[in-house]
């Protein structure tokens, strides 16, 4: 049998029809939201309202995504800047934008140790007073957005990486009255949120809990206890602020198993704050980023309880990474000039 010329072999492998040979797949023809819709997965981005006046930003956010979440504008210090004074302007602008673009809105976040205003942290309040302050805060904010947000990150980052409780103003410094009682204060605030907005799905959200480890074990134990006793918890948000070292078969298998055990409790799984930070923007780095993005999207698609694939922003023009991880960046799906990166194509394909 005659040897097949190398050029013909290449044609057989990748196709040379019509003289249009290429190894680059055609660009996706549907948006991320469209690609994911038939899996019943929302595709989200964190956003803040000042960026909406940037027309490229608004166009992409409003067309590619089926959900948005406030990156900052629903946090305590912004929405409740002084005692008795609420400022809903930023959050409301996001809701208005989302409604105009048929997007769902997810709230972030009612109880967190960061971005708490100084009137609270420096007020010298007793536990009883802090409890009243927090209940008023949760009730007022959740009521304001009732019917407009389908889900809330009620509590954010309450555990340490070793599974112990984080010492915070809400837990034990001085706390709202449940110091030393581990997850009791979380149960209390979930009940307050549920009373104010019974139709919203309520989430616990954290980072470094994406794999099976001491932190996710502690969150799992809490979730199991809450589900057993009927505490209103609907799902877990997994943040996924990662870098390419996360692209490891053992780690990814652990994510899959971790998702499965939470799903088995009847909880929704939300990927809430995904970004993959790089320390350079070489082609190799962008391709490794794309590969990991695609793998994480596939894990979500393959887990029926995974209902949200959300990135923390969407353009490298506005990302928290460079200021929080000096020397790193390039973490999102569009570059700083609003060009789609390899990661965009990879996610779009994986979500099909």
Q: How far is the CB of 54 from ligand XIL (least distance, A)?
A: 16
Binding flags for ligand XIL, 180-219, as an x/- string (CB under 6 A): ----------------------------------------
Tell me which residue has tokens 């962008």.
286
Binding residues among 138-157 for ligand XIL as defined by CB under 6 A: 156
Count of residues near ligand XIL by CB under 6 A: 6
Contacts of 161 (CB under 8 A, 6+ apart): 208, 213, 214, 215
Beta-carbon neighbour count of residue 59 at 10 Å?
Answer: 11
Does residue 64 interact with ligand XIL by CB under 6 A? no
Helix axes 283-302, 249-263, angle to 10 degrees: 30
Task: Work out how close the CB of 286 gets to ligand XIL at its nearest, in angstroms, rounded to a whole number.
Answer: 22
The catalytic position among 157, 187, 210, 289 is 157
Identify which of residues 332 and 351 has a Cβ nearer to ligand XIL in the complex. 332
What one-character DSSP code corresponds to residue 139? H
Of 71, 187, 273, 289, the active-site residue reads 273
**Per CB under 6 A, does 311 bind ligand XIL?**
no
Q: How far apart are CA 97 and CA 152, in angstroms?
A: 18
In this structure, which long-range contacts are made by residues 185-188, counting pairs with CB atoms below 8 Å and at least 24 apart in sequence?
A: 186/111, 186/155, 186/158, 186/222, 187/226, 187/231
Contact between 57 and ligand XIL per CB under 6 A: no
Instruction: For residues 48 and 161, give the distance between their C-alpha atoms in angstroms, rounded to a whole number.
Output: 29
Q: What angle do CA 152, 155, 157 make, to 5 degrees?
A: 125
CB-nearer residue toward ligand XIL: 71 or 234: 71
CB closer to ligand XIL out of 35 and 141:
141
The residue within the footprint of ligand XIL, chosen from 64, 273, 275, 289 (CB under 6 A), is 273
Distance of CA 62 to the CA centre of its chain: 18
Strand ranges (DSSP E) for the chain?
Answer: 42-47, 67-70, 104-111, 151-156, 201-206, 235-238, 241-242, 268-276, 306-311
Please identify which residue in 320, 330, 334, 344 interacts with ligand XIL, judged by CB under 6 A. Answer: 320
Q: Does 69 bind ligand XIL (CB under 6 A)?
A: no
**How many C-beta atoms surround the C-beta of residue 237 within 10 A?**
29
Nearest approach, Cβ of residue 349 and ligand XIL (Å): 27
For ligand XIL, give the closer residue by CB, 203 or 226. 203
* Residue 337 in tokens: 């000039």
For ligand XIL, the closer of residues 318 and 338 by Cβ is 318
Q: Is 157 an active-site residue?
A: yes
> Interface with ligand XIL includes 72 (CB under 6 A)?
yes
Least distance CB 265 / ligand XIL (angstroms): 22
Q: How many CB atoms lie within 10 A of CB 248?
A: 12
Cβ nearer to ligand XIL, comparing 69 with 345: 69
Which residue's CB is nearer to ligand XIL, number 264 or number 324? Answer: 324
294-314 as b/e, with b when 16 or more CB fall inside 10 Å? bbbbbbbbebebbbbbbbbbb
Closest contact distance (angstroms) between CB of 324 and ligand XIL is 7
User: Does the annotation mark 197 as catalytic?
Assistant: no
CB of 166 to ligand XIL, least distance (A): 13
* Of the residues 35, 47, 69, 71, which one makes contact with ligand XIL according to CB under 6 A: 71
**278 beta partners:** 329
**Residue ranges that bind ligand XIL, judged by CB under 6 A:** 71-72, 156, 239, 273, 320
Enzyme catalytic residues: 157, 273
């Amino acid at each position: 049998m005659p040897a097949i010329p190398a050029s013909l072999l290449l044609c057989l492998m990748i196709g040379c029809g019509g003289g249009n040979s290429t190894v680059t797949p055609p660009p996706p023809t549907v948006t991320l939201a469209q690609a994911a819709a038939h899996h019943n997965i929302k595709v989200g981005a964190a956003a803040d309202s000042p960026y909406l006046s940037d027309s490229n930003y608004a166009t992409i956010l409003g067309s590619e995504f089926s959900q948005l979440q406030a990156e900052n504008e629903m946090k305590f210090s912004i929405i409740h800047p002084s005692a008795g004074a609420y400022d809903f302007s930023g959050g409301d602008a996001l809701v208005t934008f989302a409604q105009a673009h048929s997007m769902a809105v997810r709230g972030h976040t009612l109880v967190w140790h960061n971005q708490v205003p100084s009137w609270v942290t420096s007020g010298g309040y007793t536990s009883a007073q802090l409890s009243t302050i927090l209940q008023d805060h949760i009730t007022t904010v959740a009521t304001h957005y009732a019917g407009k947000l389908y889900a809330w990150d009620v509590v954010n980052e309450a555990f340490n990486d070793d599974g112990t409780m984080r010492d915070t103003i809400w837990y034990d410094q001085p706390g709202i009255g449940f110091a030393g009682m581990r997850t009791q204060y979380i149960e209390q605030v979930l009940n307050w949120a549920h009373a104010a907005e019974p139709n919203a799905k309520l989430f616990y959200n954290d980072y470094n809990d994406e794999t099976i480890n001491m932190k996710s074990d502690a969150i799992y134990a809490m979730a199991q206890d809450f589900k057993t006793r009927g505490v209103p918890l609907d799902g877990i948000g997994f943040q996924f602020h990662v870098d390419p070292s996360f692209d490891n078969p053992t780690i990814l298998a652990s994510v899959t198993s971790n998702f499965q055990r939470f799903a088995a409790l009847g909880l929704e799984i939300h990927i809430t704050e995904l970004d993959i930070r790089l320390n350079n923007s070489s082609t190799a780095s962008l391709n490794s980023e794309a590969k990991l993005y695609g793998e994480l999207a596939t894990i979500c698609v393959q887990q029926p309880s995974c209902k949200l694939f959300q990135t923390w922003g969407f353009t490298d023009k506005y990302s928290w990474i460079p200021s929080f991880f000096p020397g790193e960046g390039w973490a999102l799906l569009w570059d700083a000039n609003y060009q789609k990166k390899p990661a965009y194509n990879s996610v779009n394909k994986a979500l099909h």
